[in-house]
Structure 1
Amino acid sequence: MLLQKIELTNYRNYKKASAEFSPGINVFIGENAQGKTNLMESIYVLAMARSHRTANDRELISWSEDFAKVTGRVEKRSSTFPLEIVVSKKGKKAKLNHLEQKKLSAYIGHLNIILFAPEDLSIVKGSPSVRRKFLDMEMGQMSAVYLHHLVQYQKILKQRNHYLKQLAQNKGRGDLLYLDVLTEQLAAEGAQVLKDRFRFTKRLQEWARPIHAEISRNQEELEIVYSCSIPVESKEDVEQLYQDMMDQYAKNRPRELEQGTTVSGPHRDDLRFYVNKKNAQTYGSQGQQRTTALSVKLAEIDLMKEMTGEYPVLLLDDVLSELDDERQTHLLKAIQDKVQTFLTTTSLDGVKRNLIDHPRVFRITSGEIEMESE
């Protein structure tokens, strides 16, 4: 999978800009606050229909303008097609092959990306919500079915929490039959989400474990565990997972009616990383946490290829400066001649140039993109 070109209109500090990319490594170079990360973000927005930096889409629109537009051309083994995202004060529109998509879930997954930025180190040491977001963003690209069940789960969860809050305010008085209906619907969608998350975690560990061992020179063993807030008897049987969720909701009902919220389910779960049997979040050194995060990101490349049949596009946003020489070497060797890569940096001085074969370098200055001669 390749991103051949991109065009920006009124996007942050880019009034009008375009670039054609190499299938290998593309480097965005320039001083801070010139637009390197904005350009990287625009690729993410084109793929995911949302920013990884802000939840407010209006921030993507250039000052005093009414809309922002990102268009790109994607090449896959079987086809080449355009993608387009338009953000305005009225909302957001996504087009696939010139056709507007009524649901973003039908759009996402046509340009698969993996982003690795300094904040991604928080996958290991951050909060459970960070890791749940990681699961949902990566899995949502790989599986439209997972994304459908997740969206439905979140929709029903919102309805159920709203009704539980009403019941709590009325001290449990209300239509409990309606609560039963919402509970059954939530468990049905939640069981599908759980099954896919368990399966993804297992495959992620299988790819990440040898990478982690290699980086640590066989001194460390990585284990990735999906920590479920509901006791489960099976990680594969959807019917059993559904029943386990229903049993837990029945057990939690008095507490939920008192607190006015759903206290268990996929929205409360976590992903845990163990290095040599110890929780890396609590007991891991900074080096171990970074090795774990790097191993997970590199594992995603092969896992995404396994699940979709195409290698993803890799975005490295100012991450090399956060890695020591050894980890930087492993990263660059792993991606060389394998995946199309976009890399931001203020200078190539700190990058192991001998590990980058013929990069295409773009100089970014005040929202202008200029390709340097190769």
Structure 2
Amino acid sequence: RAFGFVGNLNAVLFRPEDIELVTDAPSLRRKFLDNLFYQFDREYRFAHINYQKVVVSRNRLLEAIRDEGKPRSSLDFWNEKILEYGKIIHQKREDFFDFVNGGTWVYLDYKPNIVSPSRIEEHLEREIASAQTLVGPHRDDFLFMEGERDLSKYGSRGEQRKAVLQIKKWEIDYLLAKTDRKPVLLLDDIFSELDEENREQVLREIKNQQTILTTTDEHITKEFPDPLVIRI
């Protein structure tokens, strides 16, 4: 049932806390990618769901090899599945980064944790010791860069917010390119967090597409020709 719903409604959510995409843990950035692809790509969704199951099963087996002396050859099946699903996930993610990078002040530096037979073999001893799968897209990351400058470490708060605005615009453009439909833009009380330049950038963007906006500033409605306003 969930697979049947994929693509019925594409949406881009923008919240004040999205600045954490730049500054916080890699898991948030992987979740961003997963949420993006889950909206329109059934192959990605299928591969990702099964990949997660494989990692859980493989971790249990690594623990059994360490603690119970199970043969290492019992990993062969799960290694094949890690390779199969991991390759699909990496290819899809690389397509997104190829699409967005170039022509703007910021770029996304993709750090794929490549899965291959040689890397699985290279990390096997550490994997058994930790009972954790250490190779694959569940350990991917990407960085927001301006030239050689990592904005998570060296960017100002304003630059980090501007970078988030850019990735949201890329998300809109990518969904449009893949589905031929503009996504609904969901804005959750973001204007109080933006400076004038970024505020104007958002307003320019949302005038071109369907937007659902929550705000405590009623004056924002004057920026639109015919808004439907619901007061709560």
SS at match of 2:200: helix
For 2:151, the aligned partner's letter is: A
Aligned Cα root-mean-square deviation (Å): 1.5
Cα deviations across residues 55-97 of structure 1 (Å, max 9, x unaligned)? xxxxxxxxxxxxxxxxxxxxxxxxxxxxxxxxxxxxxxxxxxx
Task: Give the equivalent residue in structure 2 for 1:286.
Answer: 157
Alignment check: 8 A CA contact 1:149 1:189 kept = yes
Q: Does 1:358 align with 2:222?
A: no
Identical pairs, percent? 34
Q: Does 1:202 align with 2:86?
A: no
Q: Structure 2 CA distance, aligned partners of 1:202 and 1:122?
A: 23
Q: Does 1:118 align with 2:118?
A: no
Match of 1:167 among 37, 48, 65: 65
4+ runs deviating over 4 angstroms: none
Alignment check: 8 A CA contact 2:221 2:227 kept = no
Q: Structure 1 CA distance, aligned partners of 2:89 and 2:65?
A: 27
Match of 2:137 among 241, 263, 266: 266
Q: Structure 1 CA distance, aligned partners of 2:86 and 2:4?
A: 20
Aligned-residue offset at 1:110: 1.1
SS at match of 2:116: helix
Task: Give the equivalent residue in structure 1 for 2:148.
Answer: 277
For 1:362, the aligned partner's letter is: I
Alignment check: 8 A CA contact 1:202 1:224 kept = no
Task: Give the equivalent residue in structure 2 for 1:139.
Answer: 37
Aligned-residue offset at 1:275: 1.2
For 1:331, the aligned partner's letter is: V
Larger Rg: 1
Match of 1:343 among 194, 208, 213: 213
SS at match of 1:264: coil
Aligned-residue offset at 1:222: 1.1
Change over 3 Å in CA distance of 1:352–1:275 after alignment to 2: farther
Cα deviations across residues 90-135 of structure 1 (Å, max 9, x unaligned)? xxxxxxxxxxx2xx23323211110000111111111100000000
Task: Give the equivalent residue in structure 2 for 1:367.
Answer: none
In the alignment of these two chains, the number of paired residues is 232
Aligned-residue offset at 1:276: 2.9
Q: Structure 2 CA distance, aligned partners of 1:274 and 1:260?
A: 34
> Normalized against structure 2, the TM-score is what?
0.95
Aligned-residue offset at 1:352: 7.4
Structure with greater proportional strand content: 1
Alignment check: 8 A CA contact 1:315 1:341 kept = yes
Alignment check: 8 A CA contact 1:114 1:314 kept = yes
Unaligned runs of 5+ in 1: 1-100, 211-220, 231-243, 365-374
Give 1:65-144 correspondences, 5 Å limit. Answer: 101=1, 104-144=2-42
Aligned-residue offset at 1:250: 0.8
For 1:132, the aligned partner's letter is: R
Q: Structure 1 CA distance, aligned partners of 2:147 and 2:125?
A: 40
Give 1:1-374 correspondences, 5 Å limit. Answer: 101=1, 104-170=2-68, 173-206=69-102, 209-210=103-104, 221-230=105-114, 245-336=116-207, 338-349=208-219, 351=220, 353=222, 355-364=223-232
Aligned-residue offset at 1:226: 1.1
Q: Structure 1 CA distance, aligned partners of 2:41 and 2:226?
A: 34
Alignment check: 8 A CA contact 1:256 1:262 kept = yes
SS at match of 1:360: coil
Unaligned runs of 5+ in 2: none
Aligned-residue offset at 1:177: 2.3
Alignment check: 8 A CA contact 1:298 1:331 kept = no
Task: Give the equivalent residue in structure 2 for 1:68.
Answer: none
Q: Structure 2 CA distance, aligned partners of 1:274 and 1:360?
A: 38
Structure with greater proportional helix content: 2
Q: Structure 1 CA distance, aligned partners of 2:82 and 2:203?
A: 43
> Normalized against structure 1, the TM-score is what?
0.60
Alignment check: 8 A CA contact 1:225 1:271 kept = yes
Alignment check: 8 A CA contact 1:332 1:356 kept = no
Q: Structure 2 CA distance, aligned partners of 1:279 and 1:347?
A: 34
